[in-house]
Chains A and B, each alone.
Chain A
Amino acid sequence: MATATTEIPSSPKHASGRPTQKAAKKAPAWLAALPLLVFLALAFGIPAIAVLVSAFSVKDPATGTSHLGLDNMTDSLQGAYRTALWSSVKLSAVVAVVGGVLGTILAQAVVASRSTMLREAVLTASGVLANFGGVPLAFAWIATLGNAGLLTTTLGLGDAGWSLYTFWGLVIVYLYFAIPLMVLVMTPALDGLRPQWQEAAASSGATGWQYWRHVGVPVLTPALIGGMVLLFGGAFAAYATAAAMVGATVPLVTLQIADALSGNVLVGHENLALALSLDMVIVAALVMAVYLPLRKRSSRWLD
């Protein structure tokens, strides 16, 4: 009976009663998401904190005690480590730009052909190939262009000085998953270019080049850069392919981290792997920072 009286519309308690009722209704929503959030906080958060803390703690080889310091971070940016980090960034940038351009050209060829069969075939193949990384990818290319690969032996590329186990060899291999990824990103964006825009440009006397220069490319830019950021991230993080393919002939930061994790570092530098990892996260975050402001712009035209 007491609760019934508070329900009377004119009751002053009514105003405060409703929000609490609403909050009680919302509580289960947070509860349902709680396991996920707790899981990620534990399984993702703890290792992330471990990387941060260890990257900044320096172990004294003489006394065995640790203290906070920047030694690991500065070491991770010097000598061979700097070379590896720089070469990883260069490799990923080349893959992102070349893969971005070639993927866009391929996507445009598919979209312009207006053949649904070709489109389905290319898109499903892209879905598979974009996820085709790691060890099998390295083996397929070793069988093709490696020292005893099919093309190398039939075309006599070995005598011409060709080697797959170089910077450009890695670029060719990484493009194998980068181009399909770009096709997947660019196809919806290219679909969004309305034919009317091209017609309007043509009837105003614009050439095909002018249409792309002033309408097509500006509208596509956010999608283009977004795709390139994805490509950069994929190439930057890749480890298995490089490890199975080049070993140590091309210095890469992922290979250095794996090396340092396996204990191949000087005494007192055990946390170097973590410092290098932190460098990687910082680079990845910087690249993402380029992309995020663009994402907001992209929906203006292409929805």
Chain B
Amino acid sequence: MAGLTVSRPRLGRTAVLAIAGVYFLLPLAASLWFTVHSEGKGFSFSTYGDILTADGFTQSLLMSLGLAVATIVVVLALMLPALLAVRLSAPRLGQVLEVVCTLPLVVPPITFVAGISTVLRWGPDHLANTPFWQTLIAIQDPDFPWVLVLAYVVLATPYVYRSLDAGLRAIDVRTLVEVSRNLGAGWITVVFRTILPNLRTALASAAFLTLALVLGEYTIAVLLGFRPFAVWIVTISGANAQLSVAVSLLSLIVTWALLLLVSGVGRKRT
């Protein structure tokens, strides 16, 4: 009797896990099959060899990586001092920041880009004779569009806020600071040699989330007319579908590896 009552849910559980496994693995397997097999040529891994030499691959990937690095630097430089200040001396500021940093989640990226392109179009009408005009031109440089960095910092804010907030909750910032200060450390030493090393995991996960976000972002880039990595994949999909699927699959695997790395680092530290 006892055996019966235990085995029934176990059967259901196995079925649930098996169905989930099929549903989640099938598209990945089908993508892999699609990239290595074609009707005429049979099996070949040549598609993966073609990626590096593909037209525009290096350029768009470098642009995306550059945008990602700039976004990570800016978002951390803005968020870290604010969140540290909340922990140290202004808990009420924390409630304000939580609301402000969650707001970008409510606004869909397509709405955000509609707003940005409107502002950029106002430029010629209202700002043509002011110094802002040069700034507007400069942030739309097709080689390194700073306007995308600005947009991505906003998009990344909720995620970075959550990882840093969780990281800061886990350590006693106030005590760490007081001890370091009493031992005669200056503020720069406190931040760079006491707080940041203790936040390593939170910083890494914030950085990787931002990296994944920037590498995969399509909506804003395509509607503002730039061509970073995600836009490039779509551009080539018409001419070379195999190549675009191969790159998509690789980018997924790379993101996966990075996230596993972060969670591995996190587990070792705790």
Say whether B127 faces chain A, with CB atoms less than 8 Å apart: no
Say whether B206 faces chain A, with CB atoms less than 8 Å apart: no
Q: How far is the CB of A34 from chain B (nearest CB, A)?
A: 8
What A residues does B93 contact at CB under 8 A?
A: 29-30, 33
Q: How far is the CB of B265 from chain A (nearest CB, A)?
A: 13
What B residues does A110 contact at CB under 8 A?
A: 17
Check B218–A134 contact: CB distance below 8 A: yes
Chain A residue at minimal CB-CB distance from B219: A239
Q: How far is the CA of A281 from the CA of B90 in the complex (A)?
A: 31
Within 8 A of A (CB), among B215-229: 216-219, 223
Known: A44-B103, A113-B13, A135-B218. A258 touches B86 (CB 8 A): no
Check A28–B85 contact: CB distance below 8 A: yes
Check A143–B33 contact: CB distance below 8 A: yes
Check A281–B251 contact: CB distance below 8 A: no
Contact of B33 among A47, A150, A254 (CB under 8 A): A150
Check B223–A261 contact: CB distance below 8 A: yes
Check B245–A36 contact: CB distance below 8 A: no
Contact of A48 among B108, B115, B209 (CB under 8 A): B115
Within 8 A of B (CB), among A56-72: none
Within 8 A of B (CB), among A208-247: 233, 236-237, 239-240, 243-244
Q: How far is the CA of A141 from the CA of B245 in the complex (A)?
A: 10
> Interface size (B, Cβ < 8 Å)?
77
Q: How far is the CA of A46 from the CA of B244 in the complex (A)?
A: 36
Check A144–B107 contact: CB distance below 8 A: no
Q: How far is the CA of A246 from the CA of B263 in the complex (A)?
A: 35
Check A33–B81 contact: CB distance below 8 A: yes
Within 8 A of B (CB), among A239-291: 239-240, 243-244, 254, 257-258, 261-262, 273-274, 277-278, 280-281, 284-285, 288
Q: How far is the CB of B85 from chain A (nearest CB, A)?
A: 4
Q: How far is the CA of A54 from the CA of B122 in the complex (A)?
A: 11
What B residues does A284 contact at CB under 8 A?
A: 106-108
Check B30–A143 contact: CB distance below 8 A: yes
What B residues does A25 contact at CB under 8 A?
A: 89
Known: A51-B111, A136-B216, A257-B110. A233 touches B27 (CB 8 A): no
Check A40–B110 contact: CB distance below 8 A: no
What B residues does A296 contact at CB under 8 A?
A: none
Extra contacts, 8 of them, besides A43-B154, A124-B259 (Cβ < 8 A), are A29-B89, A134-B230, A136-B248, A140-B28, A140-B245, A143-B30, A176-B24, A237-B108
Interface residues of B (CB under 8 A from A): 9, 12-13, 16-17, 20, 23-24, 26-31, 33-34, 77-79, 81-82, 84-86, 88-90, 93, 97, 100-101, 103-119, 122, 150-151, 153-154, 157, 209, 212-213, 216-219, 223, 230, 233-234, 237, 244-245, 248-249, 251-252, 255-256, 259-260, 263
Q: What are 8 sample pairs from A and B whose C-beta atoms fall under 8 A apart? A: A40-B100, A51-B111, A127-B263, A131-B212, A139-B244, A143-B30, A239-B110, A258-B223
The 4 closest A-B pairs by CB, nearest first: A47-B115, A136-B248, A237-B108, A32-B85
Interface residues of A (CB under 8 A from B): 25-26, 28-33, 35-37, 39-40, 43-44, 46-51, 54, 105-106, 109-110, 112-113, 118, 124-125, 127-129, 131-136, 139-141, 143-144, 149-151, 176, 179-180, 233, 236-237, 239-240, 243-244, 254, 257-258, 261-262, 273-274, 277-278, 280-281, 284-285, 288
